[in-house]
Amino acid sequence: MVILTLNCGSSSVKYQVYDWDKKDVLATGLVERVSIGGSSITHKAKGKTDHVVEHECPTHTVAIELILNTLVSPEHGVIQDMSSIKAVGHRVVHGGATFTRSVIIEKSFLAGCSDMNDLAPLHNPANFMGIEAAQAVLPDVPHCAIMDTAWHQTMPDYAYSYAVPREWEEVYAVRRYGFHGTSFLYNAKRAAVLLGQDPFKTNLIIAHIGNGASINAVKDGLSYDTSMGMTPLEGLVMGTRSGDIDPGVIFHMIRKAGLTAADVDKALNKKSGILGLTGRWADRRDVEQAADKGDKLALLAQNMESYRIKKYIGAYAAALGRVDALVFTAGVGEMGPITRKLAAEGLENLGIVIDQKKNDLAKCRNAELDITGPGSKVKVFVIPTDEELVMTEDAYALMAGTYKEHSKYRYFFQDKAYLNKSRAEGLMRDLEKKPYLKELIAQIP
């Protein structure tokens, strides 16, 4: 049984093909520059040479047709025909307070969830374009929506409410929703496995640090608080997003610089964060190289990003009272030892100590690593996230009629014996080049 997952952005489609029976990834890929010209597909299939080809995709429908044609290609494909695909899982960024769990997509869902577009104008419309395109090409299989916001529906009202006029929430849905929920769910379950603890007796701080970034406080296995808010703009310093800012700055720039609301929206979402600070870079690898050469703005960006992460770790440690593990995940979290080092420095009073040598060596997307330092009361893990796997299992469970909210459902990757075959193969290759990684691999009790 094959399950396809799709993550549609405004100009891209990321996909994964998963063999449910064999519990193995058959292919992953990305179509870029959809609708803007110069489109291309990068397709990576198990046991085959990577396939990269230019192909114009003026619409998401064309992009998904390209993906499906590639999947059945005699040379690059991984399935015999379309009938092999039994379900499709779609990422939907914002489900608001209405959609609190993964669902099979029906007309009522599309109508209701479209009302959330104002809450995620950069994300939801693209997600819906992908859903409609995929349904047009694959009309006879169940399509499932996996909401980023669903994980955070367990937050208490004093964590998700804003101190604004009451009618703002009641009439205009102004409240904290949080994002990266699929990633947090995966990491929370895997961290509990690595700790050898009941997931619902586990307290965690999970830092999902990528171009978009947020931190999640997990109390007794449930989301308790998170740094992103009503939109993905609040919280940490990100690649192009400002994160936390005094709201008065917005009115100041409107009055003094004559900016419109649209100008401010664009500036805070697309021209701020690391890019805004440096004036040149959003990619942390570029910032790291510039900082190594003494670039003052790159150093400032590095220090600001890490300092904001440190502040949230401290705040959530206070909110939780007891922390069993600190988890770093996503692109920078998994591959950015400098960011982790700066963020964890000075947290010894909270019982958090990282091993600096292990941290420096911990750059691997194929293994769960333990960088806990001597005397640390809190475990520190680097866990490669796997949002696609959560989407895949949710889609399967919805199709099979076994789906429940995560608090009542046990994912197969929670088993101690769970093995990601694709990553295991990748790890073997990594160990050939970096044998020292073996000493960093987290051990399951």
CA 2 to chain CA centroid, nearest Å = 23
Angular region, 147: left φ>0, alpha ψ -120 to 50, beta rest: beta
Cα(397)–Cα(276) distance, integer angstroms: 43
Q: State the first-to-last Cα distance of the chain, in angstroms, to the nearest integer.
A: 32
The residue annotated as part of the active site, out of 24, 118, 148, 355, is 148
Structure tokens belonging to residue 269: 């979402």
HSE-CB for 53 with a 13 A CA cutoff: 12
Structure tokens belonging to residue 425: 């193969």
Closest by Cα among 383, 382, 311 to 350: 311
* Residue 148 falls in the annotated catalytic set: yes
Q: Which residues contact 7 (CB under 8 A, 6 or more apart)?
A: 13, 14, 15, 90, 91, 130, 387, 388
HSE-CB for 396 with a 13 A CA cutoff: 19
Q: Which residues contact 285 (CB under 8 A, 6 or more apart)?
A: none
Q: Which residues contact 87 (CB under 8 A, 6 or more apart)?
A: 3, 4, 141, 142, 143, 144, 395, 396, 398, 399
Q: What is the dihedral of CA 163, 350, 300, 254, to 10 degrees?
A: 0
Active site residues: 148
